[in-house]
Amino acid sequence: MPPLMVPFKVGMLPQVRLSLLPRARCLFDEPVHVKVAGLESRQVVTLRAQATDERGVVFRSAAVYRADGDGELDLCRDAALCGSYEGVEPMGLLWSMRPIVPHKYFHWSKALSPHLVRFSVHDGMDVEEKEHGGALAEVINERVLLGEGVVREVVNFGKGNGVLFTPPGEGPFPGVLDLSSFASEKRASLLANKGFVVLNVSVMYDKPAKINYLELDHYQEALVFLQQQPKVGGDGLGVIGRSKAGDIALSLASFVPGVRAVVWINACSGNMGAPLHYRGREVLSPVTLDLTKIIPAADGASIIKFGVTDPNSEENRTSRVPIEKATADFLFLASEDDLNCDCRASMESMAAQLWRAGKENVEMVCYPRAGHLLEPPYGPYCRSGLHGFLRTVVMWGGEPQAHACAEVLAWKKVEEFFRSRLSCGHPKTKAKL
């Protein structure tokens, strides 16, 4: 029986197809190739992305495109005409998503749950941030934090706890202690996908208001626990931290043996927030704050950068982390437009501190127009949000496109640094979907 033939009528549109390549399910830090086919020649459409974080906050983005003569769009080739971003930005719909309520950070901290993003294409030009129906086509992008075969385990060590991620295979694998200022498994799980055994530990093991001082012994116990894991090899461990977790990473390398490589991201060269104790005594006092120099912004957020006093001043002499005592190699990553603190100045002063001690064990990278929250790539850019320690809304800094680019480059740099400094003499193993 011959196939049923449906005559094509003038004005009839073939089925519009929205594709995510190579597949709609991917790791969180992997890009997807967005393509649309089946549009009319030169048709103007609006592409949208929407996601809801684990706290129920909705994030959205929209950009207007014009199809080519064949009715096709390719976001790796075609430029957005207007909307949440402009120009050729293959992953623009992801990093440009903004919360529908102001001053919200995209929370996705649990590695077991995939991050779902709904992509859709709509006829015409309409970039208003509201709920839209009548999509010509849509597809769900499932962005996964935990790769195939990676084992996640909640663990206890000493008086503390954390989450251990172990890649598939026999090992040995390099070990990395991932310090997050507050609970988040994102970076740790993604590093484990790349072939590292990673222990994620929150710097704040209680509410900030209840903490009179932090104990470096707590994080040393985490290092010892990680080193004892049967799949961990090499002659030392890596430590990574941003913001407050960054200065804890410096202190571990300076006071505790066994740290081979440190990644410091947008932090201070001195101890911030609370006194640091080690072995029953105070080893570092906190850098002082001048609250009169905090600048209020019109939208209710504040710029706190200028309220942090100079870590190298005489008044902060007992706050400066003595990194010249460390035997570890350092990677300093600083965002030039960080409005949380002057991290570029801290980075340069620490490099000088090491060089004066006759050490050249440091690499530095500064990212122009990037803000404080430098994270694994392709998450929504956060302009402002609640400061975890000060409990007030602050500006994080950065320009969205430049910040998104910096996250891609910085994430690649982190992997390269740890892989070169923590070699186990074992072939690289990466988890896949």
Indicate whether 236 belongs to any domain. Answer: yes
**Which residue is catalytic, options 184, 338, 342, 346?**
338
111 and 221 co-located in one domain = no
Residue with tokens 């996250």: 407
Domain CATH number, residue 224: 3.40.50.1820
Indicate whether 297 belongs to any domain. Answer: yes
Supply the DSSP symbol for 412.
Answer: H
C-beta atoms surrounding 74 within 10 Å: 18
168 and 135 co-located in one domain = no
| 292 confidence band (pLDDT: 50, 70, 90) | very high
- The structure tokens listed for 162 are 């954390």
Indicate whether 389 belongs to any domain. Answer: yes
List, for residues 315-373, the tens digit of each pLDDT value.
999 999 999 999 999 999 999 999 999 999 999 999 999 999 999 999 999 999 999 99
Using the predicted structure, report yes or no on whether residue 14 has a pLDDT greater than 70: no
The pLDDT, as a whole number, for residue 432 is 65
The pLDDT, as a whole number, for residue 207 is 65
- The structure tokens listed for 354 are 């090491």
pLDDT mean over 283-297: 92
122 catalytic per annotation: no
Tell me which of 84, 110, 144 is where a domain ends. Answer: 144
162 and 258 co-located in one domain = yes
Q: At what angle do helices 216-227 and 244-255 cross, to 10 degrees?
A: 70
The pLDDT, as a whole number, for residue 8 is 34
Coil, helix or strand for 73? strand
Coil, helix or strand for 216? helix
| 10 confidence band (pLDDT: 50, 70, 90) | very low
334 and 411 co-located in one domain = yes
**Which residue is catalytic, options 84, 189, 243, 319?**
243
- Contact present, 50 and 10 (Cβ < 8 Å): no
Tell me which of 116, 144, 172 is where a domain ends. Answer: 144
The pLDDT, as a whole number, for residue 7 is 38
160 and 286 co-located in one domain = yes
Domain CATH number, residue 92: 2.60.40.2240
Using the predicted structure, report yes or no on whether residue 34 has a pLDDT greater than 50: yes
Q: How far apart (Å, rounded) are the C-alpha atoms in residues 429 and 433?
A: 13
Q: How far apart (Å, rounded) are the C-alpha atoms in residues 311 and 250?
A: 14
Q: How far apart (Å, rounded) are the C-alpha atoms in residues 254 and 270?
A: 12
Strand blocks (E) in 336-396 = 362-367, 384-386, 393-395
130 and 70 co-located in one domain = yes
261 and 294 co-located in one domain = yes
Using the predicted structure, report yes or no on whether residue 5 has a pLDDT greater than 60: no
Using the predicted structure, report yes or no on whether residue 4 has a pLDDT greater than 50: no
126 and 224 co-located in one domain = no
The pLDDT, as a whole number, for residue 217 is 96
Total domain count, the chain: 2
List, for residues 122-155, the tens digit of each pLDDT value.
999 987 766 666 899 999 999 999 999 999 999 9
Indicate whether 10 belongs to any domain. Answer: no
Indicate whether 213 belongs to any domain. Answer: yes
Q: Are strands 44-52 and 58-66 parallel, antiparallel or unpaired?
A: antiparallel
Q: How far apart are the first and last CA of the chain?
A: 42
127 and 161 co-located in one domain = no
Indicate whether 285 belongs to any domain. Answer: yes
Q: Which residue has the higher pLDDT, 1 or 391?
A: 391
173 and 115 co-located in one domain = no
Indicate whether 2 belongs to any domain. Answer: no
Using the predicted structure, report yes or no on whether residue 109 has a pLDDT greater than 90: no
Indicate whether 1 belongs to any domain. Answer: no
Q: How far apart (Å, rounded) are the C-alpha atoms in residues 43 and 68?
A: 8
**Which residue is catalytic, options 372, 384, 387, 403?**
372
- The structure tokens listed for 337 are 């437009």
277 catalytic per annotation: no
180 catalytic per annotation: no
Q: How far apart (Å, rounded) are the C-alpha atoms in residues 373 and 167?
A: 26
Coil, helix or strand for 407? helix
Strand blocks (E) in 67-150 = 73-74, 82-83, 98-99, 115-123, 137-144
399 and 414 co-located in one domain = yes
The pLDDT, as a whole number, for residue 2 is 41
The pLDDT, as a whole number, for residue 181 is 87
409 and 263 co-located in one domain = yes
Tell me which of 144, 175, 205 is where a domain ends. Answer: 144
Give residue 382's domain range: 151-422
